Amino acid sequence: MTRCDVAVIGAGPYGLSAAAHLRTIKGLDVQTFGEPMSFWERNMPVGMLLRSGWAASHIADPDQSLTLDAYRAASGKHFSSPVPLDRFTDYGLWYQGRAVPGLDQRKIMRVESYRKDFRLILEKGSSIFARRVVVAAGIGSFAWRPPEFANLPSYLASHTSEHREFQRFAGKRVLVVGSGQSALESAALLHESGAEVEIVARARQIRWLGGVVSRTIQHGFGPTISKLLYAPTDVGPAGISQIVARPDLVRQLPRSIQDRLRKRSVRPGGARWLVARVRNVGKSLGRFVVCAAPVGERIKVRLDDGSERIIDHVLLGTGYRVDVSKYDFLAPTLAASISRHQGYPRLTDGFETSFPGLHILGAPAVWSFGPLMQFVVGTHYSSRALMQFVARKAASNRARVGEPLVAGLELSRPHD
Ligand X SMILES: Cc1cc2nc3c(=O)[nH]c(=O)nc-3n(C[C@H](O)[C@H](O)[C@H](O)COP(=O)(O)OP(=O)(O)OC[C@H]3O[C@@H](n4cnc5c(N)ncnc54)[C@H](O)[C@@H]3O)c2cc1C
Which residue ranges make up the site for ligand X (CB under 6 A)?
9-15, 33-35, 38-40, 44, 50-52, 107-108, 136-140, 182, 329, 362, 375-377
Output the smallest distance, CB 328 to ligand X, in A. Answer: 8
Would you say 104 or 410 has its CB closer to ligand X?
A: 104
Would you say 62 or 180 has its CB closer to ligand X?
A: 180
The gap from C-alpha 298 to its chain's centroid, in whole angstroms, comes to 33
Output the smallest distance, CB 408 to ligand X, in A. Answer: 29
Would you say 376 or 409 has its CB closer to ligand X?
A: 376
Output the smallest distance, CB 364 to ligand X, in A. Answer: 9
Output the smallest distance, CB 284 to ligand X, in A. Answer: 22
Output the smallest distance, CB 416 to ligand X, in A. Answer: 23
Would you say 5 or 35 has its CB closer to ligand X?
A: 35
Would you say 261 or 394 has its CB closer to ligand X?
A: 261
Output the smallest distance, CB 140 to ligand X, in A. Answer: 6
Would you say 120 or 409 has its CB closer to ligand X?
A: 120
Output the smallest distance, CB 161 to ligand X, in A. Answer: 6
Would you say 246 or 300 has its CB closer to ligand X?
A: 246
